[in-house]
């Protein structure tokens, strides 16, 4: 077995072992892959959330790059300040700034700061690790929780089938800011993810990436199936992978349409859709979302 120092020569350990994410955590894997692609010359700003908590219990940091956590909703603004300091000190040609957070800090509480950072044109890559709920506080609904998912604040009940709204389309909100690069990615497709991070960091100005990261605890899925589930989300059409560069959209095609049930049934957060008390109508609605994505982005065919 190699010593830790030698293991590090592989260069993909800028996010160190010993972090305290749950087994099979998609977010911790994605964070590691992001840093692997980004390399050492980055400064990372992290929102409050799972990733922050499982990687930065004082003094045991998992980060091998300069890293800062401030608050829940100000990550894009803090990153903008860091970028401004690097710019005035003439360091922006060799150092990149990454701001990152979960779906709650991105789509909900921090959206204003992100919009401001985009609009002002800061040279910052913002990454949203989308695990589709406030996992750190115990699986509450966020603006990125999918339709009909069970969370602790969108529970199915006698008069409810779970989350009553579809996901907020944050990537398209980013596109509307006319920033130079927007992409969605999935922890299930590491090559695509790696390429998009490298692409994003090669472009100057504000960039947005949203990475789908299964959360075994919050989704009620088998930790061993994190990657499979992430891929199913893509292949059903529920999580279309695309990138928008200078207004032009390129998509990652899917080989064939997988019915949404294949994806949903592996997660207890959708179990109520498969019970005696119905769920057929809701499943059809979710299928329609997938179908619409397939059509809108041209996910199937040439």
**Contact positions with other proteins (CB under 8 A) in 26-85:** 26, 28-29, 32-33, 40-43, 45-46, 52-53, 55-71, 73-74, 76-85
Alpha-carbon distance of 128 to 124, in angstroms, equals 13
Give the H or E element holding residue 257: none
- Give the one residue of 168, 177, 190, 271 binding other proteins; rule: CB under 8 A: 190
273, 264 contact by CB (below 8 A): yes
The CA-atom distances, in angstroms, between 242 and each of 19, 183, 247, 253, 293 are 30, 6, 12, 9, 11
Q: Which is nearer to other proteins, 134 or 297 (CB)?
A: 134
Q: Between 17 and 277, whose beta carbon lies closer to other proteins?
A: 17
How would you classify the pairing of strands 181-186 and 242-245? antiparallel
Task: Based on the shown chain and the rule CB under 8 A, indicate whether residue 18 belongs to the binding site for other proteins.
Answer: yes
Residue 75 CB, shortest distance to other proteins, in Å, is 8
Q: Which stretch binds other proteins (CB under 8 A): 19-27, 128-136, 156-164, 175-183?
A: 19-27
Contacts (CB under 8 A) with other proteins, residues 221-260: 222-228
Residue closer to other proteins by CB (options 18, 157) is 18
The window from 3-11, 136-144, 174-182, 201-209 that contacts other proteins (CB under 8 A) reads 3-11
How do 160-161 and 181-186 pair as beta strands?
unpaired
Determine which residue in the list 113, 127, 135, 170 makes contact with other proteins, applying CB under 8 A: 113
Which residues are within 8 A (CB) of 85 and not within 5 positions of it... i.e. 6 or more apart? Answer: none
Residue with token string 């800090």: 105
Q: Which of 37, 104, 119, 232 binds other proteins (CB under 8 A)?
A: 119
DSSP-assigned letter for residue 89: T
Least Cβ distance, residue 38 to other proteins (angstroms):
11
Please report how close the Cβ of residue 19 comes to other proteins at its closest, in angstroms: 5
The count of chain residues that interact with other proteins, using the rule CB under 8 A, is 80
Per rule CB under 8 A, is residue 16 in the interface with other proteins? Answer: yes
Binding of other proteins at residue 112 (CB under 8 A)? yes
Cβ atoms of 185 and 210 within 8 Å: the answer is yes
Min dist. Cβ of residue 252 to other proteins (A): 18
Give the list of residues 6+ apart from residue 288 with CB closer than 8 angstroms, or none. none
Helix, strand, coil % over all residues of the chain, rounded to 5 = 40, 20, 40
Contact 293, 260 (CB under 8 A): no
* Other CB atoms within 10 Å distance of the CB of residue 297: 19
According to DSSP, the residues that pair with 242 across neighbouring strands are: 251
Q: Does 88 bind other proteins (CB under 8 A)?
A: yes
Residue 87 binding other proteins, by CB under 8 A: yes
């Amino acid at each position: 077995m190699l010593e830790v120092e030698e293991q590090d020569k592989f260069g993909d350990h800028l996010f160190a072992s010993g972090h305290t994410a749950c087994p099979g955590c998609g977010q911790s894997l994605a964070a590691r892959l992001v840093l692997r692609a980004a390399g050492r010359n980055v400064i990372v700003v992290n929102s409050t959330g799972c990733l922050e908590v499982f990687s930065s219990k004082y003094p045991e940091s998992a980060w091998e790059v300069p890293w800062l956590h401030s608050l829940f909703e100000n990550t894009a603004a803090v990153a903008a300040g860091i970028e401004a300091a690097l710019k005035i000190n003439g360091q922006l040609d060799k150092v990149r700034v990454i701001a990152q957070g979960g779906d709650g800090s991105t789509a909900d509480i921090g959206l204003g700061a992100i919009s401001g950072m985009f609009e002002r044109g800061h040279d910052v890559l913002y990454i949203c690790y989308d695990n589709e709920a406030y996992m750190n506080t115990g699986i509450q609904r966020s603006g990125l929780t999918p339709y009909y998912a069970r969370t602790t604040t969108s529970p199915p009940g006698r008069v409810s089938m779970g989350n009553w709204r579809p996901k907020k389309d944050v990537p398209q909100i980013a596109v509307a800011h006319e920033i130079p690069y927007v992409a969605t990615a999935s922890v299930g497709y590491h090559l695509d993810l790696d390429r998009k991070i490298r692409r994003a960091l090669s472009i100057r100005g504000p960039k947005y990436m949203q990475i789908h990261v299964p959360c075994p605890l919050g989704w009620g899925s088998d930790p061993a199936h994190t990657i499979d589930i992430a891929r199913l989300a893509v292949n059903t059409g529920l999580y279309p992978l695309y990138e928008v560069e200078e207004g032009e959209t390129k998509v990652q095609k899917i080989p064939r349409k997988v019915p949404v049930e294949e994806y949903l049934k592996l997660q207890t957060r959708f179990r109520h859709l498969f019970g005696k008390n119905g769920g057929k109508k809701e499943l059809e609605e979710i299928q329609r979302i997938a179908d619409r994505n397939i059509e809108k982005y041209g996910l199937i065919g040439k």
